[in-house]
Structure 1
């Protein structure tokens, strides 16, 4: 939808081909099963979305979404210890994926330049290795046709068949990398206790990828209508169960701290457990292809899909859509080699998110065929040192959040002041438990951790 909005500035008509029948409001839909798990919009992504759809963050807030200051309202146990709740430097927008989609959808498809074709599947590309001129589609009645287009954008997500489509045109297979830790996700929605429905922080117990055990993690996100969305995850050998009876036990006994289990024990479950295993990190390096056809672009999860625990997918997609618009503004619509320039531009926001996700997952057994590379090991060692330093140094915590929120590139972590701080280490002693106030602990039925 955001790519469509970016293109509407230049094209006479933008046609969105959609397999589903889209709901009128914030409701689940068949081909978005991952919507049942935790989603969040980091401030870097929220700002990009606001550029494309002015006023959307205000609309989300009025619909019940939460704007939480970071790291003030993030209670997180990193592999190196608990983070302190420093003063606000960034923020995140929290709500269900269904509400986010519905809010954006109402703005996008209210634009007369954007046309929606539902219950229709994209089958392949029309054109040659030199240039794509349209897309073959099949409607709900089984009839096939070709939609001509000056630019075809593949935003079909993890299910993308772009590699096969390109080889069918006579182009070589794209370079790709996959890091699959075997992660499984289990999520459930709870009614938050009444006094914890406003201003409650995110609770995040992260895995420790290099402790020799399966990685187990969990996160509690406040969402609209006084609810908590809780997602538990585990890599091979440590997966959570789809069994409702085991959800609280896993949160209390399997994670590195029991804080999530303590809070959901006093909350009312509103749904069953949603379970999925489609979590591998996978990236196609289309921007490195020696030959790229005019008139074709791959964006979003179709380009790079991440372990969802880092919450970067939507933010990267929004930033890529902004990059798409900026390149066309600069170069002009229909100029030579525009598609190649676009593909390179939309890949740039991927880099920091990809390094953060794979830099952890690559250390789990079986995640890659060859195991961590030397670059992976060096990067991980430095990130570990930064995380350790950030537990007791607010300046380093801010720089790290610059990157994790996708507001700045990873180069800020190599600034001389950050390198020096990493050598010195934390300036304050490590916390021994989650930094929750007594009023927050009351939601778990206790006044202290």
Structure 2
């Protein structure tokens, strides 16, 4: 008598975002097929994807996220660089004015970021994932509910573009639908209650525009002019991306918010605490309109705390926690969560997987959350939480670290390890870092932009005057 053939296993991923693609990469070896449910049509190339309003803004991929993506999809970083993205060593290739002063460009570097347009990053990852025949996409379709009960999710209910609803069974459902996630409501419909949530709103606004750079961007540094909390004003950054372009973003709190007025965009740059960004843009050619976003809320669902989390359901990326985008953490946190999911599914879809996965996904979220909220609570306009004594003491210590990092390679390294999500904040209270912070900078401070002689010659050749 022949044994009955086992039923093929299926994972359903809600959302074709970067997080959705990485989720598919994470679970594809644990099931027979992965089906990505996407409300829109996915572009064939590095083009804008409907439903990603943040794509118009700067999207650095921190080394903690880039390394995670490389582990999930080997060769991705190389493909990004081959397509024109810049691998920017930190702080070696950064002209960076912090609230405490100009950072030194250390010749040694331990961390990096990938500077590219969001559309290119999405395209390269999507191409890698969809090359696997086990992964498919069902476009123009929305998930409108979960199947199963409070103990286990067994699939999803779908609604097609014509309004037709069907059911799709699944052994695992991963919600990667982003800030618009309906998982809290769906859990309540299944009878799962007690979900805790935090919302911290700083009131910052974010405006971005892409320019044709007056110099070749290969190997060009990232430029950052941060705000000084002791005086009102905004901040600005120039990120060199593919195609010899600069992605320029400004952000500021109420009273110093950038607007969508194209004529006011460069005027805003002149209002920063140093004229560097305005000087660089004077010879750059604007290629796009100005895009403004007021959605800078830090929002987190504490799924990992639910004792009655159902089997068969996992949330990832912005569906779990969405951060103020000025910190550039979202893609990297999603990638680290997906890598944690892959490690847990290496042994198959075992009992207790969903709860273990949700706790593992929460670990990189914890780090990014503490960094983002730890900054945002100090804006006078922030709603949702006010800084307590511990927050204020920590903020003063971090400011001291930033000051010390201007002239201390040890502290600059520790800070970049944490800010790129390669190390937990506990690194900043190691005995050697505490001692270095107490001693202060060991090198003389720099009194102006830290361009190299070659970079200055290139700027002068392009007619860019620097003060």
TM class, shorter-chain normalised? over 0.9
Written as runs of structure 1 = structure 2, the 5 A alignment for 1:134-153 is 134-153=155-174
Matched, 1:257 2:235: no
Among candidates 322, 337, 343, match of residue 320 of structure 1: 337
Indicate the residue corresponding to 1:427 in structure 2.
442
Please identify, of 19-28 and 366-375, the stretch whose mean Cα deviation from structure 2 is larger: 366-375
Indicate the residue corresponding to 1:409 in structure 2.
424
Q: Which runs of 5+ in 2 are unaligned?
A: 1-20
Contact kept in structure 2, 1:294 and 1:337, CA below 8 Å: yes
Contact kept in structure 2, 1:79 and 1:207, CA below 8 Å: yes
CA distance in 2, matches of 1:211, 1:121: 47
Contact kept in structure 2, 1:37 and 1:229, CA below 8 Å: yes
The 3-state SS of whatever aligns with 1:349 is helix
Indicate the residue corresponding to 1:115 in structure 2.
136
Matched, 1:443 2:459: yes
Contact kept in structure 1, 2:297 and 2:324, CA below 8 Å: yes
After superposition, the C-alpha distances for 1:131-174 in whole angstroms (9 at most, x for unaligned) are 11111121111111121111111101111111111111112242
Shift of 1:370: 4.3
Matched, 1:47 2:67: yes
The 3-state SS of whatever aligns with 2:426 is helix
Contact kept in structure 2, 1:17 and 1:118, CA below 8 Å: yes
CA distance in 1, matches of 2:283, 2:314: 48
Contact kept in structure 1, 2:276 and 2:466, CA below 8 Å: no
Shift of 1:212: 5.9
Indicate the residue corresponding to 2:396 in structure 1.
381
Contact kept in structure 1, 2:96 and 2:102, CA below 8 Å: yes
Shift of 1:274: 1.2
Aligned residues: 443
Indicate the residue corresponding to 2:34 in structure 1.
14
Shift of 1:180: 0.8
After superposition, the C-alpha distances for 1:321-363 in whole angstroms (9 at most, x for unaligned) are 000011222xx32322211000000111112211111111111
Written as runs of structure 1 = structure 2, the 5 A alignment for 1:36-435 is 36-87=56-107, 88-193=109-214, 195-208=215-228, 210-211=229-230, 213=232, 216-253=234-271, 255-329=272-346, 332-435=347-450
Contact kept in structure 2, 1:220 and 1:230, CA below 8 Å: yes
Q: TM-score with structure 1 length normalisation?
A: 0.95
CA distance in 2, matches of 1:234, 1:46: 28
Shift of 1:369: 3.7
Please identify, of 196-205 and 390-399, the stretch whose mean Cα deviation from structure 2 is larger: 196-205
CA distance in 1, matches of 2:385, 2:132: 48
CA distance in 2, matches of 1:206, 1:8: 42
After superposition, the C-alpha distances for 1:400-448 in whole angstroms (9 at most, x for unaligned) are 1111111222221111000111111111232222211344345373565
Contact kept in structure 2, 1:181 and 1:236, CA below 8 Å: no
C-alpha RMSD of matched pairs (Å): 1.5
Shift of 1:27: 0.7
The 3-state SS of whatever aligns with 1:233 is strand
Contact kept in structure 2, 1:109 and 1:115, CA below 8 Å: yes
The 3-state SS of whatever aligns with 2:259 is coil
After superposition, the C-alpha distances for 1:281-307 in whole angstroms (9 at most, x for unaligned) are 111111111221111111101111111
After superposition, the C-alpha distances for 1:96-135 in whole angstroms (9 at most, x for unaligned) are 1111111111111111111101111111211211111111
The 3-state SS of whatever aligns with 1:185 is strand
The 3-state SS of whatever aligns with 1:38 is coil
After superposition, the C-alpha distances for 1:43-65 in whole angstroms (9 at most, x for unaligned) are 11111101111111111111111
The 3-state SS of whatever aligns with 1:222 is strand
Matched, 1:31 2:46: no
Change (3 A) 1:220 1:288: same
Shift of 1:256: 1.9
Please identify, of 362-371 and 267-276, the stretch whose mean Cα deviation from structure 2 is larger: 362-371
Q: TM-score with structure 2 length normalisation?
A: 0.92
Q: Which runs of 5+ in 1 are unaligned?
A: none
Change (3 A) 1:370 1:307: closer
Stretches (4+) displaced over 3 A? 444-449
Contact kept in structure 2, 1:134 and 1:146, CA below 8 Å: yes
Contact kept in structure 2, 1:39 and 1:96, CA below 8 Å: yes
